Structure 1
Amino acid sequence: MWWLKRGCFLNEAGCFRVKLERFAQVCSGSWKAGLGDAYVPHVVDNEEVDCYNYFAPEIKSKEVFSLILPPPNITGTLHLGHALTTTIQDVIVRWKRMEGVECVWVPGIDHAGIATQVVVEKQLWKEKRQSRHDVGREAFEERVWKWKDEKGRVIENQLRRLGASLDWNRKVFTMDPTQSREVTKAFIELFDSGLIYRADHLVNWSCSLQSAISDIEVDHVEVDGPTPIPVPNYDRPIEFGTLTYFAYKLHNSEEEIVVATTRPETMLGDVAVAVNPRDDRYARYIGRYLWHPFRAETIPVIGDDSVEPDFGTGAVKITPAHDPSDFAVAKRHSLPILQVIDEKGNIAPDHGIFSGLPRFAGRDAVVASLQAAHLMREKRGHRMVVPVCSRSKDVVEHLVRPQWFLKCAEMARQAVEDVREGRLRLEPGRFERVWFDWLENVRDWCISRQLWWGHRIPVYSCRPRASAAPPVWIAADSPSAALRKAAARLSAPDIEVTQDADVLDTWFSSALLPFSAWSPQQVPRNCEFSSPAGGCYPLDVMVTGHDILFFWVARMAMLGRRLTGRLPFHQVLLHGIVCDAQGRKMSKSLGNVVTPEDVIDGSTLEDLEASSRASHSSGILSPEELTRAIAGQKRMFPSGIPACGADALRFTLCSHNIKSHFINFDVQECHTNRLFCNKIWQAVKYTNGVVGEVTQETPEWESLGPMDRWVLSRLTHMVQKTRSGMESYDFHVATAAIKDFMYYEFCDVYLETTKRAFKLSDRERAAGHGWTLTTCLDTALRAVAPFMPRLAQHLHARLTRPEGARRVDYPKLDKEDREWRDFSLEADVAEVLELVVAVRRLKKVFGVVAKHSPEVFVVDPAGFYCRFKDTIEDLSALHALTVTPDPARLPFKDTVKDRLASGTLIHLVVPADLRRSLELDLPKLEAKKAKLIKEMEKMNRMVSGDNYKVKATAEAQRTHSKKIATLEEKLARINYIQSISNQ
């Protein structure tokens, strides 16, 4: 059996060296054996320990298990989502190390182009009232690098505090020189292969960022009717959710065509009105012209099958410069493209009195002018979707701009095929359909951004000096290299070379990380990556949140396959999004954001409020959001957040099914797991105090008592469940198995049954108990080590054991080990524990406590309970237990009885004064019962209401749940007393 292989812990006499005085000291808490009186997270967290190599046996495999940590953005500090990803990966890595596998886990941080530039610009404006244009590109970039250094240190410290056993000597930053070289190399290869092209195209444009953003960086906000939405740089919210109807007059006619639009300001750029050719209302107007009232020119009426006759008026204004559908119509009909809104969000020049107005002020001016010209018809509420930039929260404009695009169709087809044919596995599998839907409808990726912070696009505009010819674009790693390429292509002696001012989308460099993290610039493409990656590519698994499946995972798969010839990984583990206890996404404006430090160190309500006020001061929260946030914090955390430590946080995160779409995090659950840490702590402290010195000898299996063999059988079950959970990445299965065993079976049951032998100096039984205690703790601490590394190491290193008996591998069962699982014994003990519960219940109902010297009689014709007599006495805290086969021998006087489901009769001796007190209360119980039932019905009606889960705070829900549980217990007690009294 696996727990006997390393020898036993007995002395020369074949038993433990038990010292009664030591046991007394342990029971009184005066003897510490290297452990404090209780688990204190800060003591363990701050201890200088080797968290990497303690639980790491000799390497047994030549293979390397490699993975990278999704690089956090340098925009700020880590949140619980980062903590979840980090913990999952760390659990996997620690488990693999304990299996004897060499692991390489690369940390890094991402430069986060848009997000970082936004926060640094806000900081610059707050401190100096300057924009980036005021300080210049070079000075602004210096400021961002300084920000990066500060935040990078904070993030690294946070990861270390979480206990992440990362290979810090391998850490990368997505704008390190080696990373920049790899990004440049990848861009040039894709460009020269014809996959990157430049085109004037309608793009999503954030006016506050003054940059293009990708489709998946746009949030689609649905509104139903007139709805005010805050827009950056506007003093008041802007109303969306309305249709404005106005008329175009036919040229030289009083006839008119009425159109409807959600953006009346864009009518300044209308170049046509489209109708469906089969629409009898308008077919006769096709080919005629309308008069544009503000440009004083005509625009045509065109027929196009894309127009829906039932929408609006059935006539659609065409503004190709600001609408994707209109852009496509303009291409089909060769219509001109007139820009209305510029990059800053103002009305563009050449629009008369409207030029220079902010776009939404321009809207009001256009509507007013239409009214003055008697062209306004009406305004109606309208359900619509407002595109909002996920980074800046600005309303997105569609502008035609020259941008760099990456062709994705072929790469996406390959990524779909890889999943369909099983070369790439997504876990959980439900995301396969999402993967197919997105990649089968993928559009070319706009990879250029009009920012200053990021990888400057390595492409150069080249043309002979003083030439009017259009430039030739050359991708190169330097101006001199671009010049050489251009000279060969243009055959001109004097060529002007200018690098594009744009930078690459952040996700482009991040998508290269699976191989760029290993500095593969020295490795030929499509090789086996034998050096310098050392077999680390492809990665063994990619762990990340499902919310960046397309931002990152799909792009890694596409570019990894295209640039290296191999998938960057063969398995993707997608975890859920961390929400609060009520299932709401964490948001600073709701006041429900909990940071890892809040849980590890604890946080007072005042600290939480101060954090919200700091967010308000930095411009993140509006005054209204600040008020709502502070109110939310008072409801959810009226007493603040208790300090739980990193291990309890990690264990709590992994106690949820990480593959669920959302993970509801409750700080109270984390505090409960901190108490679980204390339970383990006290178990080790007790064990160290009673086992004494140990040797290499082993006890005979038959010499172990039934409770020793029972707990070892349950230990086997725990190891089986834990290994199954680890291998399938169902960590909630593993943590539940560990907690069930350690908390309930080992500490609450088995450990209590060992005290009698140590106290009475029963050497034979004490020897078996001591060996079993140490075996269970040694195994359980190794099982919990990936989840609670600091606590496990701290206690395992101090656990009393013989020299040379320390094991650091992850627990597992060999074929012979499984034979020690004793299902029959487990069933017997389950029946014993049922009896114990019944005795405890009787004692509680009748108020029998230790001072009454509790005595119980059990009718047991088969003599089953005789061999567990001591166990029942210990767990039931009895002064005496009599097991008799003959009911006639029971002392019926002064006893109350209960009957188990098996038919076993239990008689508890109750002192006369307690019985009289109960008998006097019997008449009152029925009235009390009716009152409790009424109160219970009221509580149940409240919590079952339709809006209860939405409106009631988490704290209120916990309070109501506890009250209902108390009422149920009181009712059960009355019912029980009444049933016993009627016997």
Structure 2
Amino acid sequence: MLEKSFDPKTAEPRLYKAWEESGAFAPTDDPAAEPFSIVIPPPNVTGSLHIGHALNNTLQDVLIRFERMRGKAALWLPGTDHAGIATQMVVERKLAAEGNIGRREMGREAFVDKIWEWKAESGGTIVNQLRRLGASCDWSRERFTLDEGLSAAVRKVFVQLHREGLIYRDKRLVNWDPQFQTAISDLEVEQREVDGHYWHFAYPLEDGSGEIVVATTRPETMLGDSAVAVHPDDERYKHLVGKKVRLPIVGRLVPIVADDYADPEKGSGAVKITPAHDFNDFMVGKRHDLPQINILDDFGKINDSAPEAYVGLDRFVARDKIVAEFEALDLLRGIEKTRHVVPHGDRSGIVVEPYLTDQWWVNAEVLARPAIAAVESGETAFVPKHWEKTYFEWMRNIQPWCISRQLWWGHRIPAWFGPDGACFVEETEAAALAAARAHYGRDEPLKQDEDVLDTWFSSALWPFSTLGWPDETNDLARFYPTHTLITGFDIIFFWVARMMMQGIHFMDAAPFKRVFINALVRDASGAKMSKSKGNVLDPLDLVDEFGADALRFTLTAMSGAARDIKLSRERIEGYRNFGTKLWNAVNFAQRNGCARAEGFDPATTKVPLNRWLVGETQRTAAAVTRALADCAFDEAANGLYRFSWNLFCDWYVELAKPILNGTDEAARDETRATAAWALDVILTLLHPVSPFLTEELWSQTADLGAPRAHKGLLISARWPDLPERLADAQADAEIALVIAAISEGRSVRSALNVPLSAKPPLLVVEADAAQAAILAAASPQISQMLRVSGVETVASAPAGSIPYVVEGVTLALPVAEFIDLAVEKARLTKEVANLGADIDRTAKKLGNADFVARAPEEVVEENRERLAESQAAKAKLEAALGRLGEAA
């Protein structure tokens, strides 16, 4: 017999070990099996499991377990990303905490060795955490973005794209982090709204005829100004276009140019142009062939392009000094307070600078064209489809991609420079030396580029480099293109789009047939989780408290693509209770002798209750199969919940009790066999979502009756494929009538506060002969479940009876002797009035456009939910009032 309850703490590690040791995570070797592959969005090697990871990886695991059980050669390929800047930062901080010298004093080689040491000791944390969640990845194929195989792929891609003219070196603006002294991607920039100022500076005209006033939030950049721009249609300044102003402090003459970028409605309408320190100004500078004057060094200090008094000053110290000097020169025309958005490094937390440097770039516009076409043609589909619009908007406006980083941890750029600056891009140093020899006619010393590649460059190759490319491996031939990518919307631009570009360019096929974008996980009120708010839910804590299955089921059931997930401990506890309910149902089946029968055929069942259950099982299996195949994870989980809890545990088990305790041996044996068969199907269907609990129950029930066709672990069992002919319309109608009679009767009793001890008869007032016979035959079940004394057919109901109609049958409960009808009517009238007042208040609030616009999103949603709940409760009470009015 089963233990009293399921203990996740002891069962989960034992079961996971059994799965892994069985080889179940690896795809089948059967050459006839249809390949189905998923590549994991590689978590940072520095990372630990957060709730977003838990959702994303749960959905991947649900899908891969499902397809594996369907007989496909299912590969879920895991791995981690070297996460350049994040990992370098972790190790630098670790060295500082230990009192060691910094990386620059240590030197590149020694520092990189330290990172590899850290990776060996701590880099696998998140992988082990994914195991705790139940992730059935094929760990034998685990990859790391700095593996030698993946590194070879990176070098080949870089060299080929360079030879095709799609990778080039250019001096352009980048996001520069002065703390880490590196370019960073847009993804690594956090836009923060802060308090600031507009300083209004007067620039004197060269001819002494006046001045032009500009406003800036970054006074220090004026040291690099190379023009003032005005709108070509701005009548105030048309006469000044072509003239020059003398830049205060610096003394440089700069032109006044006409450009659409200047906004006549903003500030004075004149704007200072600093091409080396502003992305918009850079484009203005290109249009007008302006000098690009960089006035900062790598550390954010003023360099020697500025007047000597400013050289070496921190940018913000220089800001204060410039403002003071403008004031001293009587050229400060005003200071205006403002709130504005300032870019910060998401890891360093300091202000990021637009910075002009020599970097390596990818011509993303060319690579984007076939990637756009692949989605337009349907070769790759986004689910939900509306994310295609987001993808298209970005891809059709894509900018050159800066791929170089001034770090030491990462893929070193395969470019070597000769003594005259000539560049040799090759996959190996030996090949570069040979190219240099051919170029110079002799051996010359070469120096490799100091930079490494953006982490997203290597991640863009993930779907094919992990399968062995550039070698022609069996895995590559079998599993590329992969089938489904499950990921978050926040990296559509930075990862999904780049994988599409590189996959099509190097493999002549899009890397995915489908891209499923999962929801965001928020707290119970709908607010975004953050440490500062103290509302973060740690998935490992939740697994410790409730078990992995409860968390998995919650995330799956709430993962509807159209909404965010409002996660709470109460929800997870509720789904843990679902697991307990299933455990108790199996326990009940064991205690009542339910066991697999030799040669049992569900199509031959005769008892209406069993025929109904068989049909419901078939419909559920078909619906869950469709839902999982379509990535409708919430539909699958909710369908399983309804069938397992509501139909099987609640209705079937309760309706079966009189049969199991009765004297009809044939009906009893058939019911026992049907229950055992249905439980096997339930466990199989539930396995992808709740793998631990179902595997344990599968094992615990292995010896009940005849052996199963599949004698091994449930993870390797075949997915149920039940024929439609198992459905029985007549049995469905019969059991639907019985369930409706009981369910609606319970609602009547509850709404009118009929005591549980009261046992009135259930009166059949109007019904055809067949319906009356069905209800009479089900009298034992109805009596027990509705707490009535029996089922009686009558010509009319006595006074004080509460009528209700189900499936076209009029039933009645004579309750006048158990309750005071007048008192109940007064109570219900008062409750309806209270609910009506609450509905009016909430509706008025939601009808206020100002409230909806200003209130936090979670507060508005809370009010909408309250309104819907109040309206439903009011309708229910009004129906009860109506029945009281009909009481004879």
Q: Same fold (TM over 0.5)?
A: yes
After TM superposition, give the deviation of residue 213 of structure 1 in Å. 1.8
Cα 1:356–1:869 shift into 2, 3 Å: farther
Aligned to 1:777: 679
Asked if 1:560 corresponds to 2:503, the answer is yes
| C-alpha contact (below 8 Å) 1:461/1:473 kept by paired residues | yes
Query: Given residue 710 of structure 1, which amino acid in structure 2 is its aligned partner?
Result: W
Aligned AA (1:88): L
Which of the numbers 11, 22, 38 marks the counterpart of 1:44? Answer: 11
Name the CA distance, whole Å, in 2 between partners of 1:727 and 1:966: 34
* 8 Å contact from structure 1 (residues 273, 315) kept in 2: yes
The code of the aligned residue for 2:746 comes to R
Equivalent residue for 2:308, pick from 343, 348, 352? 352
Is 1:933–2:833 an aligned residue pair?
Answer: yes
Native 8 Å contact 1:57 1:98 kept in 2: no
Kindly provide the CA deviation profile for residues 421-450 of structure 1, in whole angstroms up to 9, marking residues without a partner as x: 232322222222222222222122110001
Partner of 1:416: 372
For the Cα contact (< 8 Å) 1:725–1:734, is it kept in 2? yes
CA shift for structure 1 position 532: 5.6
Distance 1:80 1:898, change over 3 A: same
Residues 1:584 and 2:542 aligned together = no
TM-score, reference length from structure 2:
0.89
In structure 2, what is the Cα distance between the partners aligned to 1:884 and 1:583? 51
Relative to structure 1, the CA distance from residue 780 to residue 515 in structure 2 (aligned partners, 3 Å threshold; closer, same or farther) is same
Q: Which residue of 2 aligns with 1:810?
A: 719
Query: What is residue 290 of structure 1 aligned with on the other side?
Result: 245
Matches within 5 A, 1:661-672: 662-672=564-574
Kindly indicate whether residue 466 of structure 2 is the aligned counterpart of residue 517 of structure 1: yes
Aligned residue for 1:194?
Answer: 165
CA distance in 2, matches of 1:448, 1:189: 16
Q: Is the 8 A contact 2:764 2:794 kept in 1?
A: no
Q: Name stretches of at least 5 consecutive residues in structure 2 with no aligned partner.
A: 712-716
Which residue is 1:439 aligned to?
395
1:859 aligned onto 2:765: yes
Contact 1:91 1:787 in 2 (8 A): yes
The equivalent of 1:156 in structure 2 is 127
Aligned to 1:651: 553
Residue type matched to 2:781 in 1?
D
Tell me if structure 2 keeps the 8 A contact 1:459–1:474. yes
Change (3 A) 1:417 1:903: closer
| Aligned: 1:380 with 2:336 | yes
> How far apart are 1:679 and its partner, in Å?
1.2
Aligned to 1:597: 540
2:795 match:
887
Corresponding residue for residue 738 of structure 2:
832
Closer, same or farther: CA 337–870 of 1 in aligned 2, 3 Å: same
Say if 1:900 and 1:658 are closer, same or farther in 2 by CA, change over 3 A.
closer
Match of 1:270 in 2: 225
Cα pair 1:873 1:880 within 8 Å, conserved: no
Matched, 1:728 2:619: no
Shift of residue 663, structure 1, vs aligned partner: 3.3
Q: Evaluate the alpha carbon distance shift between residue 902 and residue 450 of structure 1 in structure 2; reply closer, same or farther with a 3 A threshold.
A: closer
Which range moved further: 776-785 or 266-275? 266-275
Check the 8 A contact 1:448/1:505 in 2, yes or no: yes
Whether the aligned pair in 2 keeps the contact of 1:426 and 1:574 (CA below 8 Å) is: yes
Q: CA deviation at 1:420?
A: 2.0
| Shift of residue 77, structure 1, vs aligned partner | 0.5
Structure 1 alignment gaps of length 5 or more:
1-32, 229-238, 464-469, 524-528, 602-642
Name the structure 2 match of 1:572.
Answer: 515
Check 1:761–1:378 CA distance in 2 against 1; reply closer, same or farther (3 A cut): same
Task: Tell me, yes or no, if structure 1 residue 176 matches structure 2 residue 126.
Answer: no
One-letter code aligned to 1:827: A
Q: Write the letter of the residue equivalent to 1:245.
A: H
How many residues in Structure 1 have an aligned counterpart in Structure 2?
Answer: 868
Aligned mates of 2:236, 2:748 — CA distance in 1: 87
The superposition leaves residues 365-422 of structure 1 with CA deviations (integer Å, 9 ceiling, x where unpaired) of: 2111111110011123557543333443433211110101112222111111222223
Distance 2:759 2:565 in 1: 49
In the alignment, is the contact (CA less than 8 A) between 2:594 and 2:676 conserved in 1? no
Residue pair 1:582, 1:954 contacting (<8 A) in 2 also:
no
Q: Which residue of 2 aligns with 1:338?
A: 293
Match of 1:786 in 2: 688
Give the TM-score taking structure 1 as reference length.
Answer: 0.81
Deviation at 1:596, TM superposition (A): 1.6
Instruction: Determine the structure 2 residue equivalent to 1:212.
Output: 183
The answer (yes or no) to whether the contact 1:520–1:532 under 8 Å persists in 2 is no
The answer to whether the Cα contact below 8 Å between 1:758 and 1:766 also exists between their aligned partners in 2 is yes
- CA, structure 1 residues 875+303, in 2 after alignment: closer, same or farther (shift >3 Å)? same
1:81–1:577 contact (8 Å) kept in structure 2: yes
- CA gap 1:175/1:277 in 2 versus in 1, 3 angstroms: same
Listed one character per residue, the Cα deviations across residues 896-954 of structure 1 (whole Å, up to 9, x for unaligned) are 44232567554546695x45xx37xx459637853773476248636974569739889
What letter is aligned with 1:668?
Answer: E
2:641 partner amino acid: K
Residue equivalent to 2:277 = 322
Residue 492 (structure 1) aligned with residue 446 (structure 2): no
Instruction: Flag the 1:534–1:689 CA change in 2: closer, same or farther, 3 A.
Output: farther
Q: Deviations over 1:577-599 (max 9, x none)?
A: 22223333322222222222122
Tell me which residue corresponds to 2:776: 869
896-905 or 741-750, larger mean C-alpha shift: 896-905
Over 3 Å counting, the alpha-carbon distance change for 1:694 and 1:364 in structure 2 is: closer
Letter in 2 for 1:926: A
Give how far 1:190 is off.
Answer: 1.9
Partner SS for 1:442: coil
Of 671, 676, 695, the residue aligned with 2:578 is 676
Is the 2:35–2:73 Cα contact (8 Å) retained in structure 1?
yes
Contact 1:869–1:881 (CA under 8 A) maintained in structure 2: no
Change in 2 beyond 3 A, CA 1:129/1:245:
farther
Counterpart CA distance in 1 for 2:249 and 2:462 is 53
Amino acid at match of 2:635: V
- Structure 1 residue 473, shift from structure 2 partner: 0.9
User: 2:830 & 2:480 partners in 1: Cα distance?
Assistant: 70
The answer as to 2:432 corresponding to 1:482 is yes
Deviations 1:154-204 (A, max 9, x none): 211111111111111110111122222221222222223322211111212
Q: Provide the C-alpha distance between the structure 2 equivalents of 1:37 and 1:534, rounded to a whole number of angstroms.
A: 49
SS in 1 for 2:682: helix
Are residues 1:109 and 2:80 paired? yes
After superposition, the C-alpha distances for 1:313-361 in whole angstroms (9 at most, x for unaligned) are: 2333222221233333434444333222222122223433333332223
1:557-594 superposed Cα distances (whole Å, 9 cap, x missing partner): 11122223333233322222222233333222222222
Alpha-carbon distance change, 743 to 139 in structure 1, aligned in 2, over 3 angstroms? same
Query: Which amino acid counterpart does residue 103 of structure 2 have in structure 1?
Result: R
- Distance (whole Å) between structure 2 residues aligned to residue 116 and residue 696 of structure 1: 59
1:258 aligned counterpart, secondary structure: strand
CA contact (8 A) 1:860 1:884 kept: no
Which amino acid in structure 2 is aligned with residue 421 of structure 1? S
CA separation of 1:801/1:586 partners in 2, compared to 1, >3 Å: closer, same or farther? farther
> Is contact 2:168-2:362 (8 Å) kept?
yes
Q: How far apart are the structure 2 equivalents of 1:844 and 1:280?
A: 78
SS at 2:650's partner residue?
Answer: helix
**Does the 8 Å CA contact 2:424/2:436 hold for their aligned counterparts?**
yes
CA shift, 1:682, in A, is: 1.0
Distance in 2 between residues matched to 1:146 and 1:944, nearest whole Å: 62
Aligned to 1:249: 204
CA contact (8 A) 1:415 1:554 kept: yes
C-alpha deviation, 1:955, in angstroms: 14
Determine if contact 1:861/1:886 at 8 Å carries over to the other structure: no
